[in-house]
Amino acid sequence: MFSILSWNILQGGGSRCAEILHQILLLKPTVCVLSEYRNNARGDKLRKGLLSGGYTYQFTTFSSENENSVLIVSRIPCIHEIHPSADPIFSGNILSIHFDIFSIMGVYLPHKKKHVLFDYILEHINNFKKHYIITGDFNTGKNLIDQNGQSFWYEDKLFALEKAGFVDAFRHIHGDTRQYSWYSHQGNGFRYDQSYMHHSLLPILKECHYIHEWRKAGLSDHSPMYLELG
């Protein structure tokens, strides 16, 4: 079994890092994609804990200690790829790892800010030989489906992903089920955290769900997404 945990850990995890690490090591996913990771002392401690827990392969982008970025760790060998030309401002917000059969792109896409990351991703996946799983905090979704309102930016880019052959893994498993991975202070739900995978990989998709208990316990303001591949 190959499993992927994708989780926005909220501003680097802060004092919650110990419990975040504890839950990850209990779950033991093959790969972790952590967004809003920060290259600071707490981030270093989190990485050392993951290393002790068997995550030998660790990759992050060259972001400053106060910037939200992406960390990917793996229990099994892989190579990584950074994307310095992805966006003039937010180039550290996507990161890829490559296995023999497929690749994983971890993303932290800025919330309601102008960026060209989606355009870069679409061009990259169309030119790349291996098929991708794109997972992380998209900070968008489909209006009236992944939220009750219509405030999402970049909805059109999700349709472009689907046109390029990618499938929303959660919707593939759960259909029109309404679940949200983040809630505003007013109690409005949004499904920001998503995983899109190339349709050729769907035969190996066994499960895709959120772990809402971790958000409810205060470990982050986001529910992590868990994918299981057979």
pLDDT 10s digits, 91-113: 999 999 999 999 999 999 999 99
pLDDT 10s digits, 1-59: 999 999 999 999 999 999 999 999 999 999 999 999 999 999 999 999 999 999 999 99
Q: CATH number for 2-229: choose from 3.40.50.1950, 3.60.21.10, 3.40.50.720, 3.60.10.10.
A: 3.60.10.10
Confidence (pLDDT) at 51: 98
Edge-to-edge strand ranges of the sheet holding 166-168: 79-82, 94-98, 102-108, 131-137, 193-198, 166-168
Three-state secondary-structure class, residue 204: helix
Nearest residue to 130 via CA among 208, 200, 59, 60: 200
Please state, in angstroms and as integers, the Cα–Cα distance from residue 180 to each residue in 12, 20, 157, 194, 225, following that order: 21, 20, 20, 10, 11
CB–CB of 222/214 below 8 Å? no
d(CA 111, CA 102): 28
Question: Packing angle between helix 41-52 and helix 17-27, nearest 10 degrees?
Answer: 20
Q: Which residue matches tokens 């205060």?
A: 218
**At a CB cut-off of 8 Å and minimum separation 6, what does 128 contact?**
103
For the cut 90, the answer to whether the pLDDT of residue 130 exceeds it is: no
Please state, in angstroms and as integers, the Cα–Cα distance from residue 184 to each residue in 12, 59, 142, 187, 221, following that order: 19, 31, 17, 5, 9
Model confidence band, residue 127 (pLDDT cutoffs 50, 70, 90):
confident
Three-state secondary-structure class, residue 53: coil
d(CA 82, CA 227): 23
For the cut 90, the answer to whether the pLDDT of residue 129 exceeds it is: no
Model confidence band, residue 128 (pLDDT cutoffs 50, 70, 90):
confident
